[in-house]
Structure 1
């Protein structure tokens, strides 16, 4: 799908759209028979007003109606979408409902192109509307049937979408469009990786994907194998790989878009390509969804692809420890004690708490880059889903000025994109639950505050830099009829980095 910007004279926005030749123009209407300014400018024949009065469209958010053959305008069709109650500006939620309705309709419409001409959104600039529009349309055409022997019939919908903006917004809009398409491409990569079965999306597959990103966007790439990982003394990471024949990989990607002297932002992604739980075997029901346990790695790779495409002027490094967690005669056992790269020893009480075991060594490895900030991303705990459901990712950082600032940046990026996070506590009291009689720490702290004690475990390996942890167990994928990867938190991470570069 091709996207473009259509610049309209700000002084004549209400009537300029009449002369625009397009197969379909999308305009908004409100409840109680109210027309948006642009809809009113197109309605000299009274057809739109009549449709509202007849009840053919209610104006409620997400409602829609297609009109054809209206004289006195250049567009072949008008697609009306509901925006809710009439106010000075449209709410984010109502705009999203409207643009999603437009995307659904245009995906099956026999038209080659369309023009989106919706009102401004309350407290948001044009870049927000453009990003929301691009993501909604790309989501509407995303397919997950690549491995089916008989593909579902592809809808023959609109292939070109133009977004109308005023002259004053033209420069910002063009930048926003470039960034939004790159973001959508990154989200698609994340969803594709997440949806692949674990017999295809192995650690080696993730490493190959990273190399492809590096080649396409002129990044540096290092792929460490088992012997190199052993040489680094990553005993915690390697303990997770003991039960599988699939070789582990330690992936490092370097996007040097900033100044050579600038410290990089480091993203660390958990890459468990299948998590059986190991000896602490998971229940069989829903275990197939443990292919999504590499959601952190997938989102970091999607983010790197996005910033590579937009040539972001910032130094960003990605670190991805990736392996399987499987049971076998050689698998790590509950009660085993391992030594991490940092030298700290860990008593493994539950082999299903494996994500933190691979992340802790990656977080220690990150020290060598003297990072400006480190953000790790992981489908880490079911406890986070219990706490926050599927709406917010869990955000954990220390509580001081530097970490409060990093948390504020990440939370703001989430609010900008609708890819939201919620800050959770890290306090010394929770560390009591990680005490071990036999090692420096245990890898679990019991069921109480499980997502917090997991973050406290990781925090012990991040003392030398500013760090945040995103638990995306509730947001990286959906279950049930809508089963599939969501592409989150690529919007949050990418926008966080764009804001830093800006």
Structure 2
């Protein structure tokens, strides 16, 4: 993907042209059109393009002796065009281009003035969304010839801006592409079948990532976890043939001795529910119960690719939740690494049992903040659907920061309550707490459970049960919330200039 001024007319096979509902063109497109004596403007006004944002129409126009194609995409009314509309239009373009065999594409970007957004934001989002649009999962168990037959080369895509190309804009292209790379890794790990992507596979993937970018990786084996007192996490994977692991990736990019940002991912590589067995419908989707862990991998890859001047530690609790003769039972009591005891009322409320020990382990790094990411509760899906991740935090400033990053990227999160009144639902007659708060406010009580292990630092929890994957014909991992996490980390790194990065 390249960046150049719109005044430098390209010779791409396909021109992608944003059109407002009144038929007018964005300013960058106008500069492009001036070379063609206004023929594109006339074409856009004559086309019967629906005004709904994201509608597309493929047309042809003559330029000298050459007939070229133009893809019109509706931007809706100019006075209603904002960042969200821009992201929706980009997503529509990405879908259209992904199914095209075009080898070279020119895309003039809309006026940032109409969105109240910076040029760099506009370029970064275009780079990220369009690169992500070309993602294809190469299933490892398919014949290599089949994968080769279905693979297509990514075309040369030129983003056209109505100004000079600055180092800031070049960095925006690179950062957008790096976010898309992180999303691709997250999707690849999530889409792998459970018989391939197990705790050992995640450990190997972390070692490979560390080797690629030169940061250390530590893997705590089952024996190490037992010595640390991680009885809660170990109870989840006790019946599986795949040993539990805690994976620690340590990226130190700051020359100053700054406290690290710690990202924690739930890595239940397959969740049967254990003895509290899940229903059989859509049980194959439980391979996505490690998407929180996958998003930590993706965020670390983005950070390392851009060599951000941050200290970031990614910790993954990797387990497989299976039934069996050695499985945990409802009514069992386990002792967490923190020393707090937990009565297991339901073995399908297992993610919190893993995360709580990893959150205690994170205290040793004296973190600036901790963010855990987990496909934690079906209750969050009921509350927020597949559009929005649930956001909980014990610090208002951290919550506001994450909420803003989600809004900026379209990878939105909605803050949910974390009030003491909900803690009563976790009472137990036999332990310090139970792992289940009942049906009411299930996502909230799960977060309240985790909050008991986050007393020593600023903490936020992202429940991505509804946003990490989709079913149906488009079944697959979404790569969320890597865009949100990336925006958060990039903002934390803004004390250095783009030219220094």
The TM-score normalised by the length of structure 1 is 0.92
The aligned residue for residue 148 of structure 1 is: 142
Instruction: Select 1:237's aligned residue among 214, 218, 233.
Output: 233
| 1:275 corresponds to 2:271 | yes
2:251 to 246, 250, 255: 255
The 3-state SS of whatever aligns with 2:453 is: coil
Local SS of the residue matching 1:247: coil
In the comparison of the two structures, how many residue pairs are matched?
487
* 1:414 maps onto 2:390 in alignment: no
Q: Distance in 2 between matches of 1:207 and 1:219?
A: 14
Matched-pair contact (CA < 8 Å) for 2:389–2:464:
yes
Residue in structure 2 matching 1:115, options 106, 114, 123 = 106
Question: What per-residue deviation string (whole Å, max 9, x for no partner) do you get for residues 392-425 of structure 1?
Answer: 1111112xxxx11111111111111111111111
* Secondary structure of 1:70's aligned partner: strand
Q: Matches of residues 153-232 of structure 1 in structure 2 within 5 Å?
A: 154=150, 159-167=155-163, 170-232=166-228
Deviation digits for residues 422-455 of structure 1 (CA, Å, limit 9, x no counterpart)? 1111111111111111111111111111111111
Q: Take 1:449 and 1:209, find their aligned partners in 2: how far apart are those partners?
A: 36
- Specify which of 78, 86, 91 is matched with residue 100 of structure 1: 91
| Aligned with 2:21 (options 28, 31, 48) | 31
Change (3 A) 1:159 1:476: same
Unaligned runs of 5+ in 2: 495-501
* Contact kept? 1:24, 1:114, Cα under 8 Å: yes
Partner of 1:465: 457
Aligned-residue offset at 1:483: 1.1
- Deviation track 1:221-256 (CA, whole Å, cap 9, x = no partner) reads 101111111111111011111111111111000000
Q: How does 1:43-62 map to 2 (within 5 A)?
A: 47-62=39-54
Task: Answer yes or no: is the 8 Å Cα contact 2:28–2:111 preserved in 1.
Answer: no
Report the Cα distance in structure 2 between the residues aligned to 1:219 and 1:74, rounded to whole angstroms: 51
Q: Distance in 1 between matches of 2:210 and 2:224?
A: 20
Deviation string, structure 1 residues 376-406 (Cα, Å, up to 9, x no partner) = 11110111111111111111112xxxx1111
- Partner secondary structure for residue 270 of structure 1: strand
Partner of 2:337: 341
Q: 2:124 aligns with which of 115, 131, 134?
A: 131
> Does 2:436 correspond to 1:444?
yes
Distance 1:158 1:501 in 2: 30
Q: Is the 8 A contact 1:363 1:461 kept in 2?
A: yes
CA deviation profile, 1:467-494 (whole Å, cap 9, x unmatched): 1111111111111221110000111111
Q: Is the CA contact (8 Å cut-off) linking 1:109 and 1:158 kept in structure 2?
A: no
Q: 1:425 to 1:157 in 2, by over 3 A?
A: same
Is 1:483–2:475 an aligned residue pair? yes
Pairing partner for 2:380 from 384, 394, 403: 384
Tell me the distance in 2 between the aligned counterparts of 1:166 and 1:263: 40
1:85: how far off?
1.4
Cα distance, 1:118 vs structure 2: 2.4
Residues in 2 aligned to 1:153 and 1:388: alpha-carbon distance in whole angstroms: 39
Counterpart CA distance in 1 for 2:44 and 2:106 is 21
SS of the residue corresponding to residue 456 of structure 1 reads helix
DSSP-derived class of the 1:349 partner: coil
Per-residue deviation at 1:371? Answer: 0.5
User: Could you list the per-position Cα deviations for residues 323-359 of structure 1 after superposition, in whole angstroms to 9, with x for gaps in the alignment?
Assistant: 1011101101111111111111111111111101011
SS of the residue corresponding to residue 34 of structure 1 reads coil
| Aligned-CA RMSD value | 2.2
- Which has the larger displacement, 104-113 or 492-501? 104-113
Aligned residues of 1:109 and 1:156 also touching (Cα < 8 A): no
C-alpha distance in 2 between matches for 1:453 and 1:110: 49
Query: Unpaired runs of 5+ in structure 1?
Result: none
Question: What secondary structure, in the 3-state scheme, does the structure 1 residue paired with 2:166 have?
Answer: helix
Q: TM-score, normalised by structure 2?
A: 0.92
Are residue 426 (structure 1) and residue 418 (structure 2) matched? yes
